[in-house]
Amino acid sequence: MRRLFALLAALLLAIPLHTGQALAQDYAEESLPNPRQEEQALALMDAIRCVVCQGQPISGSNADLAGDMRRIIREKIAAGESPAQVRAWLVSKYGDWVSFQPQVSPATSPLWLVPLATLIGGFWLLSRRIRIGRKR
Amino acid sequence: MKRKWLLWLPFALGLVLLGLFYVGLKKPEDHIIVSRMVGKPLPLFTAPAALPGQPGAATADYRMGKPRLLNIFASWCVPCVAEVPVLLRLKAMGVEVDGIAVHDTTEALQSFLARNGNPYTRIGRDDQSRIQLMLGSSGVPETFVIDGRGMIVHQHIGVVSEADIPKLLGLLGQQK
């Protein structure tokens, strides 16, 4: 019985110790304790461009600044911000360029509208062809 | 006749596109990333003193009425050495120059300033680039002009040279 208590006490002591360690972690390289948040953070890091080594996402860059960006992304996500909010924060500092995923705006709307228009135009041409074929 | 010509149009457009791809591949990807913070108020930050004898920097220091330069630099940054004489000249003209030392150590900074001279009124340390990221700065050296009300007026990317002095003085509202 006494042993059980000792074990329980040890466990209780271990919990604050563990969270203390988590706080001392460096989020530039280490994952968040919450797996769902870590997943969100990683997805965002893949979509943010490193401002030093410009072709790379910050997830795969060794630059100091990329590590610092990863740290801030993890911290912000851990604090409850959504990936979209964190992305918007980075865009407010560095512009659209920092995000690999283009933002929907009047200037970028052709990215979505042109394929759609091409598709509709293609169907229209095809339907005319078929009609002409039937008439023959 | 006109229809036949129209048939070739998609191919022609395709060729134009391929040409653009080719040109794009040949052009090296070298973007200068301009901060979106220019024209906006200086974000709230407190940079602890990087050196024992010199104060750090904080947002409140930039709302005192006098415009200041905020220079993002590092002792490990080679081009930063080149701009120190120019910053010293600006200081001699009465310009307040503050530094934010990115990823630096006290010892390395001390020897950097001993070797090159110290143009800075305040030097704040930024070990995790937090202030650099807040400012939308993507490298060293970069120099921000902050007006007396804490607004970011201008971002100078790269080394400040002699030739930049008149422009900076103009932005600081000082006549040469």
Rounded to an integer, what distance in angstroms lies between the CA atom of residue A97 and that of residue B34? Answer: 10
pLDDT (tens digit per residue) in A22-36: 455 789 889 999 999
Give residue A21's pLDDT. Answer: 44
* Region A105-110 average pLDDT: 88
> Mutating which of B30, B31, B33 best tests the A interface, going by the most A Cβ atoms within 10 A?
B33
Task: Determine the pLDDT at residue A10.
Answer: 56
Distances (CA, A) of B126 to A61, A92, B113: 20, 20, 17
Q: Do A68 and B132 touch (CB under 8 A)?
A: yes
- End-to-end CA distance of chain B: give it in Å, rounded: 70
Q: Enter the tokens of residue B7.
A: 């048939």
Residue with tokens 């340390």: B125
Q: Which residues pair with B158 in a beta bridge?
A: none
Average pLDDT score, chain B: 93
pLDDT for res A14: 53
A71, A96, A94, A74: which is closest to A83 by C-alpha?
A74
Per-residue pLDDT of chain B (176 residues), as tens digits, is 677 888 888 899 999 999 999 998 888 766 788 999 999 999 999 999 999 989 999 999 999 999 999 999 999 999 999 999 999 999 999 999 999 999 999 999 999 999 999 999 999 999 999 999 999 999 999 999 999 999 999 999 999 999 999 999 999 986 44
Look at residue A16 in the predicted model and tell me its pLDDT: 47
Domain A2-102 is found in CATH 1.10.8.640: yes
Instruction: Tell how far CA B135 is from the center of its chain.
Output: 9
Cis amide prior to B52 (ω within 30 degrees): no
Which architecture does CATH list for B46-171?
Answer: 3-Layer(aba) Sandwich (3.40)
Average pLDDT of span A32-51: 94
CB-based contact (8 Å) between B132 and chain A?
Answer: yes
Q: Are strands B68-73 and B57-58 parallel, antiparallel or unpaired?
A: unpaired
Position A105 confidence tier, pLDDT thresholds 50, 70, 90: confident
Nearest-by-Cβ selection for B36 from A55, A64, A92: A92
SS3 content of chain B, % helix, strand, coil (to 5): 40, 20, 40
**Whole-number Cα distances in Å, B162 to B101, B128, B130, B158:** 22, 31, 30, 13
Instruction: For chain B, say whether A96 makes contact (Cβ under 8 Å).
Output: no
**Contact B36/A64, CB-based, under 8 Å?**
no
Residue extents of the structural domains in chain A: 2-102, 104-136
- Collect all residues with Cβ–Cβ distance below 8 Å to B70 and sequence separation of at least 6: B42, B57, B62, B98, B99, B100, B135, B143, B144, B145, B146
pLDDT at A8: 59
- Rounded Cα distance between A77 and A35, Å, is 12
Chain A: residue whose CA lies nearest to B34: A94
Question: So what's the pLDDT on residue B1?
Answer: 63
What are the φ/ψ torsions at residue B4 (nearest 5 degrees)? -60, -40
Instruction: Classify the complex by whether its ipTM is higher than 0.85, answering yes or no.
Output: no
Residue A55 banded pLDDT, cuts 50, 70, 90:
confident
Tell me the domain boundaries of chain B.
Answer: 46-171
Q: Which amino acid is at B154?
A: H
Tokens of B13: 């457009």
In chain A, whose CA is at the least distance from the CA of B104? A64
CB proximity A95 to B under 8 Å: yes
A73 lies within 8 A of chain B by CB: no
Chain B partners within 8 Å of A95 (Cβ): 33-34, 36
> Which residue from A minimizes the CA distance to B136?
A93
- What's the Cα-to-Cα distance from A100 to each of A56, A77, B36, B176, rounded to whole Å? 10, 19, 17, 44
Instruction: Tell me, yes or no, if A55 comes closer than 8 A to chain B by beta carbon.
Output: yes
